[in-house]
Structure 1
Amino acid sequence: MQDSLASMLSGNQEFIMIESQKIIYEDIMYTVNHLKNDTQGKKVFIIKGGPGTGKSVLAINLLSDIISEGKLAVYVTKNSAPRNVYFEKLRQGNYRKNYVHELFKGSGSFTDSETNDFEVLLVDEAHRLNEKSGLYSNIGENQIKEIINAARLSVFFIDEDQRVTSKDIGTIEQIKYFAKQQHAKIIEAELDSQFRCNGSDGYIAWLSDVLEIRRTANDIFNNDDYTFKIFDDPNEMRDAIIKENKYHNKARLLAGYCWNWESKNHPSKYDIIFPEHHFKAQWNFSNTTTWAIDTDSVEQIGCIHTSQGLEFDYIGVIIGDDLRFENGHIITDFSKRARTDQSLKGFVTKCRKGDKVALKFADTIIRNTYKTLLSRGMKGCFVYCTDQALSNYFKERLKRNNDIYNEITYTVQEAAETAENLLIYKTKK
């Protein structure tokens, strides 16, 4: 989508919407077109959808069409990574800087807004909304409340399975709570078709099953059009990503946040090091805000904060010791996160004391983080695990698919042989 952004804002149809998207789009546009004549107050849409179901595409289509009709609409995200990529893409498309910054805002931009300052606010990645705003989280009251207050119509695109830090308060329950406080009408809808991962709903469901986020019917990974591969050597995975990146600059390395950010203050230092493999790499943080599209960043490692909300052709994910396989199950370990990690801020001390609520929360954050990372690739996902048992577990889950395929092939072969023998028997008779 990031490549098609400028064209979409110019009114060109880059994506054909399917049924569920089109219905939601038409419902929202109908509401937009009747705002001036509507005396029933505020409206709040809550649009649910998993990774790759077209939430961002729908949001950008709505933004383009709403502003083309002369109405004031803004695309809102908490995470700055996609906004920075959008800014750069639109700058390359000769859009004026001030104009772009009015169209795309951070979720903390509405602390001082008056009621109904905006006609429409389109909130992407609503699960990443925070309570307070500002660099030190000391401004405003609640971002959800402030967004609903600032707009006559607010649209929240949300996937609760992508909440990845302790500050993420964006839930459907919270949105409904503040919508009711402001007497807004609530409309809920869901996007249920997968466009990323080569259109495989099954892959996303398989990830939930494999990571033991929830049991699904997708015990088997069965998609010949999507590449999922486990590497025993991180250098080989990096080489594979570099090879795929040569075609369109759309392959990147990602990792769970288990390694300290040493290169922030010491640019010559490396952050992620595996001495046994003679592997070393740096986090991408310190040198750019557009790492996802920079031409020289393929060997650097991105994290959840620089990749969420964006997509690539291929991704290589390094899974650290915060996710392991023990006693027949996936386990999480908050203590293996980097000391510079802020995603569990306020919960680590409670976890160390054995607080069950805190431990459950940390477990959810870690699993959600890896599911989000593992679903960034359009065409394929490569994985290297620091825990050998986890690597073996992934391989075993992939082997199940091959075993069933071989079993089905054998059964079909048996059936063919039986039919042939029956035909011979009837011919002789």
Structure 2
Amino acid sequence: MTHIQTFPFEKDKFEQIKDFHFGLNWPVVYIQEDGREMYIGQTTNVYARSKQHYENPDRARLKRIHILTDEEFNLSSAFDFESLLIQYISAEDSFKLQNGNGGLINHNYYEKEKYLAKLETVWPKLREKGLVKQSLADIKNSEFFKYSPYKALTEDQLVVAMKVENSIKKRDAVAHIINGGPGTGKSILALYLLKHMKEDKDMKYLKTALVVPMSGLRTTLQRVLQRVPGMGAGMVIGPSDVTKKEYDVLIVDETHRLRRRVNLTNFGSYDLTNKKLGLHKDATQLDWIISSSKQQVFFYDNRQSVVPGDVRPGDFKKLNAVNYNLTSQMRIEGGEDYLRFIDDLLELKATKGFESTNYEFKIYESIGQMVRDIKVRDSEHTLARVVAGYAWSWNTKGGRDGHDIEIDGLKLVWNSKNIDWVNSKNAINEVGCIHT
């Protein structure tokens, strides 16, 4: 069982930690805090680590140290526990974390699931001590947890991050294209790179920003980074914002949604940006990125390019670029098997159904029953939504009365908000367009 022992973080009290049963030569996780700031760490000698931290002015001002101990802790489980606490507590935002995000890796080890289950039992104890406020479920469902730059990286993400950062440090005159399908952690890695570059001694002086073409996601990421020490909403920009300064590095999430001069709502503004950058009239937003930065990191999935005005795949082949691939599935419990099944289903190649104990997949004959079931799921998890491709006219746009979709007598309306619709109050009673 995991226990929490609290000590004053005072130099003349360190002998108490030394005399503590787990104070020497045992893997532990510890939390230092003063009610406002917090540092989370792990060590095999918390007595020695406490003395080290006391020499650090940032750590020394933290008044208490809470030591999480367990007879079953080993190095791997302590490291994982530390990583999980950083991810969840940073998402809650009750404390200002002193931790950086380097070194957080999602790795496997013996009986990992058993140790992860211990977090469920220790969390109420952390709440009793005032170290956390929300439930694990509420935090996990939050946008900050989903997009936290403190997320632990998978092995393939870490390898890509190291290669990209090494190239940036050497000032290599190449672009980096990181390819990955849905759920492979492209946005997570983009945010990780943005934060880690601000912390690295060789890169923190570089002028860096994260470009996000879609306004909804851009607004969400701005809210997330506003809460991260040393970051800020201004580090997330739209494609046209690149004209405001010259950048050393631009990281572009959802690169496949960069636009070209086709089917625009405001050709004048687009043409003005091209003029500011000295580009020809038909230059693309990809050209804007290249013209405004010395190095670029593109996160790309050509299968998610969904409208005629998106930058074409051939435009990326013209770049002097190094390509990387992300393959680990982070979003869907059904994993790669589910994704392959959906691909085969849509391409009329599926020869058998999909079965999983971790993931529910249904094909409905009644849309009414489907909507009712989704509302039940939403009442249970607050994460269920009805979505669709743009196959019906948007008659209710601008708040007009009526409905947009009618199937078997069931009348439905499209999303009433373009930005952050999924978290809006009436989202469960609307249909979200997948392009929103």
Same topology, TM > 0.5: yes
Counterpart of 1:152 in structure 2: which amino acid?
A: K
Equivalence for 2:285: 143
Counterpart of 1:156 in structure 2: which amino acid?
A: F
CA–CA distance in structure 2, aligned partners of residues 254 and 10 of structure 1: 38
How far is 1:72 from its partner? 2.4
CA–CA distance in structure 1, aligned partners of residues 178 and 240 of structure 2: 21
| Among candidates 164, 171, 180, match of residue 28 of structure 1 | 164
The answer to whether the 8 Å contact 2:179/2:325 transfers is yes
| Among candidates 254, 266, 277, match of residue 387 of structure 2 | 254
CA–CA distance in structure 2, aligned partners of residues 206 and 89 of structure 1: 33
Matched, 1:48 2:179: yes
Equivalence for 2:299: 157
CA pair 127-94 structure 1, distance change in 2 beyond 3 A: closer
CA–CA distance in structure 1, aligned partners of residues 152 and 301 of structure 2: 22
Task: Judge which range, 292-301 or 50-59, deviates more.
Answer: 292-301
Equivalence for 1:175: 316
The answer to whether the 8 Å contact 1:255/1:302 transfers is yes
Matches within 5 A, 1:350-361: none
Counterpart of 1:55 in structure 2: which amino acid?
A: K
CA pair 269-87 structure 1, distance change in 2 beyond 3 A: farther
Matches within 5 A, 1:174-193: 174-177=315-318, 179-180=319-320, 186-193=321-328
How far is 1:43 from its partner? 2.1
CA–CA distance in structure 2, aligned partners of residues 243 and 235 of structure 1: 13
Matches within 5 A, 1:48-67: 48-67=179-198
Counterpart of 1:294 in structure 2: which amino acid?
A: S
Equivalence for 1:80: 215
Equivalence for 2:236: 104
Matches within 5 A, 1:231-380: 231-274=364-407, 276-277=408-409, 279-285=410-416, 287=417, 289-306=419-436
Q: CA RMSD in A?
A: 3.2
The answer to whether the 8 Å contact 1:43/1:153 transfers is yes
How far is 1:32 from its partner? 2.8
CA–CA distance in structure 1, aligned partners of residues 222 and 214 of structure 2: 13
Equivalence for 2:259: 130
Equivalence for 1:19: 155
The answer to whether the 8 Å contact 1:6/1:89 transfers is no
How far is 1:30 from its partner? 1.5
CA pair 292-280 structure 1, distance change in 2 beyond 3 A: same
Q: Report which structure shows greater RCO (CA 8 Å, sep ≥6).
A: 1
CA pair 147-220 structure 1, distance change in 2 beyond 3 A: same
How far is 1:221 from its partner? 2.2
CA pair 159-5 structure 1, distance change in 2 beyond 3 A: farther
The answer to whether the 8 Å contact 2:249/2:296 transfers is yes
Structure 1: gaps of 5 or more residues: 181-185, 307-429
Equivalence for 2:359: 226
How far is 1:247 from its partner? 3.8
CA–CA distance in structure 1, aligned partners of residues 286 and 215 of structure 2: 17
CA–CA distance in structure 2, aligned partners of residues 146 and 256 of structure 1: 29
- Provide, for residues 92-128 of structure 1, a one-character-per-residue CA deviation record: whole Å limited to 9, x for no partner: x4889x940x211122333x367xx112211111111
Equivalence for 2:338: 203
CA–CA distance in structure 2, aligned partners of residues 192 and 268 of structure 1: 45
CA–CA distance in structure 2, aligned partners of residues 47 and 6 of structure 1: 30
How far is 1:86 from its partner? 2.6
CA–CA distance in structure 2, aligned partners of residues 9 and 146 of structure 1: 36
How far is 1:204 from its partner? 1.1
How far is 1:15 from its partner? 2.7
How far is 1:89 from its partner? 4.6
CA–CA distance in structure 2, aligned partners of residues 305 and 3 of structure 1: 32
How far is 1:254 from its partner? 0.4
CA–CA distance in structure 2, aligned partners of residues 132 and 48 of structure 1: 24
Task: Judge which range, 73-82 or 56-65, deviates more.
Answer: 73-82
CA–CA distance in structure 2, aligned partners of residues 268 and 20 of structure 1: 49
* SS of residue matched to 2:159: helix
| Among candidates 222, 227, 248, match of residue 119 of structure 1 | 248
CA pair 199-265 structure 1, distance change in 2 beyond 3 A: closer
CA pair 77-158 structure 1, distance change in 2 beyond 3 A: same
CA–CA distance in structure 2, aligned partners of residues 80 and 271 of structure 1: 23
CA–CA distance in structure 2, aligned partners of residues 121 and 283 of structure 1: 34
The answer to whether the 8 Å contact 2:239/2:288 transfers is no
How far is 1:65 from its partner? 0.9
